[in-house]
Structure 1
């Protein structure tokens, strides 16, 4: 029996570990694509001859084995000018991952490698009994291929050099789609036993894209969306407590559990940033022992925790606090405050010109807690809790006293909620939801404040308290008085192997706090926006790959180099490849398909890893098989790549400067020196031109114009001489 279970485990592992690779995708008559062979295999080249209905496979003789490293199976770059459809191809591949042949267009051939088998899914109109399969110039009649036991499948096994090709041709018909599209989807989609990670910095907020997550969960697909629009959606949705919440909301205009009014107030972009910080800290924590993968990535040395004492609900009522962009510590002295809340504020704020680090952090956390409670508790319950508080003695002498006091407040609040009685079923449900939310909120903050006091802030050797001066604004019945300035301390944490672990735990715990009011802001020290963009990209990819369900991972990157300085564009591939080939990800087999505008990225590529798209005069998009006058991209000079028509078909000079150069050149060519443009302007203009060939040519034209103008000058001088001679003769005659 034990041997039987061992056998089952081995079989399961073999099934799970099957390597999968998208190797070819033929697009035709979809949008502007015309007979586009998209090859994603680095060692084989596929081509479909539509006119003769031939499917052609050739070996790439220049294939560089393991060029991309041990974890990467294939890297392919899609390049071309704006408007050729780079993003559309990535979106189409994503659709094939989810739905296979069950979505239009049907005019498609899709080749997927699973271990040594090549599964070729094709439309019935592309291959028929008159077609040929051509392998290294050897033709095989399609009608004579071996038939599988399963209908519509033909098999061809053949050797190509050292590789045995095992081809399975799967025909997809319109009839089969009509009869059972779900079955076709299940069989042909790329997402079977494979994970997909999609990244784009473009804002794509269509309803279609927002439905991906629900679709993938329903169909048990592992799809990780790192797009900006999806991150924003996820941040907004993170404020929802449970599915019942929307039902019992006072505001019935609900979007994903968040009311339209509250939606504007939510700092969900801040939540997005906290998520990115958490991901980076996790990466730094897990990769701490592998220094090689961080050689080129700019790692932050320090992180600071800033506070925003004006919560979003109060911020909209207090626009006038924006004077000189100063920070304000706002102390609410309203009668509506809980008794415990007022006691706590007095303990922290009364008669103090300086608030220490521990007190400042507790102050903002308690403020967040009670701001969140104000959103949840009905007004009637609030009054009952205040009444019960009067019988409790609050002893707040030291910071640690906050824990038992919060426990007591929590006990009072939950007891009052429990004592509520309702007759109607919906009112009882509303009570259950409110009590669950309040209990969760109080537990979350109580545990987190205890953790901050007893664990996080005890690591004094890693935390530096930095003083900040803020305004102290007191609010009493909507009257605001700014009496003084007060010094608070914010924590700055130096990052190393130990402190990164503590900081990651802190952000992870803080991010799990419920409620929409959160006022801790995490900021990397001395990182530019481009450096942060690259850091977020690399670390989110690392975490997504590590958390992916399957061993095989397909990554689609849409212009990942956007916003990066050329120096970072030059390094981006090296940084990404170092991270993706790390020992932490050695169990994964990764395929990358990326689009780019950057010649720095192209210079990293063997030419067989490039798909170059070109738009013809008729508007059709085709695959250009080679660069004119540039047969190789690997290590190519950036200037040469820029000079190629792929990037700039009409030169490397800006349009405005080019117009001015033409203006000066035409002026000189038309012999208009000293007309339209004066000589002084032309001389100054030529002196500032940086391109040496253009500058030399304009100097040559300028000198020629001056020479050509010399006869006129000589005539004028001769006339002056003749005139002077006459005057001299007249003078001599008079003297005589």
Structure 2
């Protein structure tokens, strides 16, 4: 089934995009009649498209300058229902104020999108069905709506209408289950820029499911880091050899220094630590970080645990302390380790049992300051299991593990990373990430963003395990190459399509919509698949234009088009050249003004000095054609001045000869007298 987004109409959403039509399909054309409030759908001949892959049905590029509304379109289509209503309110005012007589909702904001399901079946979703009065007047719809329609192509009208949730595409599935969105957006690195905190998905969804995959998971990143350092094919796609390191470390809130005096002072003053030791171990054992293992080594105290075992035990102690710091509980079982040299397994199991006891107590009576659940217990178990699978040689000390990914013989960190991801939701009141931290080091920003994109898509697809094979994924990528080297941008379409063909992605079909500033992507798609968004300089409104460039277009030609660049070089350089041209033009006018007069010797020397200075400025220009053209012009002025100088010298010599001749003649005449 070729499900796809085919059309978007934005009437007014409180932004600069108004009464704007954006087509997304090569197989259908949607015509909106604003006067009649009706739509007409026509079938089109899609022509000969590109075979990007069996599971890739279409790629569209959304291009335009900053502020033209590309991200707005992506947000409107891709955000979850709850986030969309917050970022794109349905009314000018957040509430409906009541003046005692009538409701005053303010100005309505409205838009709608059209999807093709199968055959003659389509779906329309949007705000305020009044935009489609001819279609929706027969049913009562709420302000945000999603409906399924059957369209009669012979009579050019809607022949049937259902609520989307009631429409079935086959005997077993509802229409809204057969298509979904994955929306990736590069997270800004600007600390002062306030961005909306988006939900990864809606709890209750009345239209197609949307997954926001802008925030990534540890397991997905870890998986792609391993591929980037161990798979030759992936390294060739990246065209880069990375040397990344994973660091796993404890973030104890009770110990802030390894200094001996500070640790001892904290030990004597921390009554809560003493109480926790008594609660857990009945005074038979110390918490591992008081004093820290490093201090124990300095004091030559025996440490019966390896560094890795210390990390696990201290993590469990810190986890329990975070739960109990404002509550109270006692271990039901007395701490009584066996008389062996290393009692790690006993101590770990004792702490896990204590944690499980807290889970049971919380289920019975909710008096603890932090809610602890069975899921937290399962996460703690998996974190311990995951750390145990890491070879001892990667432990730097009793608080830090460092793993050069290139040295890994196998991907032994997956269990640990999956456990950390299980705690990623903000709904968890017990945040394991506040106790144990994961960092990825020695990556360039470009490498990090490159891996982040593919890891985000991988994790998003993993979350869609409830979808069936062959379902359509509308993949929205908002400026995914904005942090890439130009060569990565040039390779982007190829690398993306190659990745989506791999087993982990092959389950779904993909309709891909990419917003970009980069002209490097345009030469990989047909010009029919490029949607140009431009702004009107007078009022800033957005209009949709056809692209003059497309598949196999020369990148230099695309760059020089004013849609992307107003000049082929930087603005500072442009200003430099413009000022230089003004100086040369002024020199030319002055030279022309002196052609009919004999310049004085001082004026000629001034011209020559000015030409020499201008030559030095011109020689700073790196572009050979511009530089040589300006130098030729200056040389012409130079020879013109030289010619004037020679002519002036010749005229002076002629006058001197005439004066000499006249003086001699005058002398002869005087002699004759």
Q: Tell me what 1:119 maps to.
A: 122
Q: Secondary structure at the match of 1:614?
A: strand
1:200 lines up with 2:200 in the alignment: no
Q: How many aligned positions are there? A: 577
Q: What does residue 415 of structure 2 align with?
A: 505
Is 1:708 matched up with 2:647? no
User: Unmatched 5+ residue regions in structure 2?
Assistant: 92-107, 136-146, 169-173, 278-282, 424-430, 592-605, 665-673
Post-superposition offset of 1:683: 1.8
- Matched-pair contact (CA < 8 Å) for 2:524–2:551: yes
Equivalent residue number for residue 176 of structure 1: none
Verify the 8 A CA contact 2:123 2:149 in the aligned structure 1: no
The match for 1:341 is 286
| Alignment partner of 1:368 out of 298, 302, 315 | 315
Deviation string 1:604-649 (CA, Å, 9 cap, x unpaired) is 111111111111233354544434xx3x41121111111112101x
Cα separation, 2, equivalents of 1:536 and 1:308:
22
Task: Pick which of 31-40 and 530-539 moved more.
Answer: 31-40
The CA distance in 2 between the partners of 1:492 and 1:113, in whole Å, is 48
Matched with 2:391 is 457
Shift of 1:47: 4.4
**Deviation, structure 1 residue 686:** 1.5
Q: 1:306 aligns with which of 247, 253, 263?
A: 247
Aligned CA distance change for structure 1 residues 616 and 60 (closer, same or farther; 3 Å): farther
Alignment of 1:564 with 2:481, yes or no, is no
Distance 1:542 1:294, change over 3 A: farther
Aligned to 1:475: none
CA distance in 2, matches of 1:294, 1:221: 36
Question: SS where residue 311 of structure 1 aligns?
Answer: coil
Q: Following TM superposition, by how much is the alpha carbon of 1:200 offset from its aligned partner in structure 2, in angstroms?
A: 1.3
Contact 1:372 1:516 in 2 (8 A): no
Distance 1:51 1:604 in 2: 39
Distance 1:561 1:520, change over 3 A: same
The two structures, once aligned, show a CA RMSD in angstroms of 5.3
What does 1:363-442 correspond to in 2, within 5 Å?
363-378=310-325, 381=328, 392=336, 397-398=341-342, 401-408=343-350, 428-431=365-368, 436=372
Q: Is the 8 A contact 2:42 2:153 kept in 1?
A: no
- The structural deviation recorded for 1:546 is 3.9
What is the CA-CA distance between 1:406 and the residue it aligns to? 3.5
TM-score by length of 2: 0.69
Structure 1, gaps ≥5 residues long: 1-17, 130-150, 159-165, 173-181, 232-274, 322-327, 459-463, 469-485
Q: Deviations over 1:461-504 (max 9, x none)?
A: xxx54869xxxxxxxxxxxxxxxxx99874435467x612x221
Question: Alignment partner for residue 628 of structure 2, among 689, 696, 707?
Answer: 696
C-alpha distance 717-363 of structure 1, shift in aligned 2 (>3 A) = farther
User: Using the alignment, how far apart are the partners of 2:371 and 2:27 within structure 1?
Assistant: 62
Residue 363 of structure 1 deviates from its aligned partner by: 2.9
Distance (whole Å) between structure 2 residues aligned to residue 447 and residue 85 of structure 1: 44
Deviation of residue 220 (structure 1)?
Answer: 8.0
TM-score (norm 1): 0.64
For 1:223, which of 210, 213, 217 is the aligned residue? 210
Q: 5 Å matches for 1:554-593? A: 554-593=474-513
Tell whether 2:77 aligns with 1:93: yes
Identify the residue that residue 136 of structure 1 maps to in structure 2: none
Alignment partners' CA distance in 1, 2:502 and 2:359: 53
Contact 1:97 1:190 in 2 (8 A): no
- Higher mean displacement: 27-36 or 184-193: 184-193
User: Which residue of 1 is the match for residue 427 of structure 2?
Assistant: none
The CA deviation at 1:520 is 4.3
Q: Structure 2: how far apart are the matches of 1:676 and 1:83?
A: 49
Matches within 5 A, 1:609-620: 609-619=529-539
Provide the residue aligned with 2:10 in structure 1: 27
For residues 293-339 of structure 1, what are the alpha-carbon distances to aligned partners after superposition, in whole Å with 9 as ceiling and x for unaligned?
Answer: 77514687765343556635655xx6x99xxxxxx997887144535
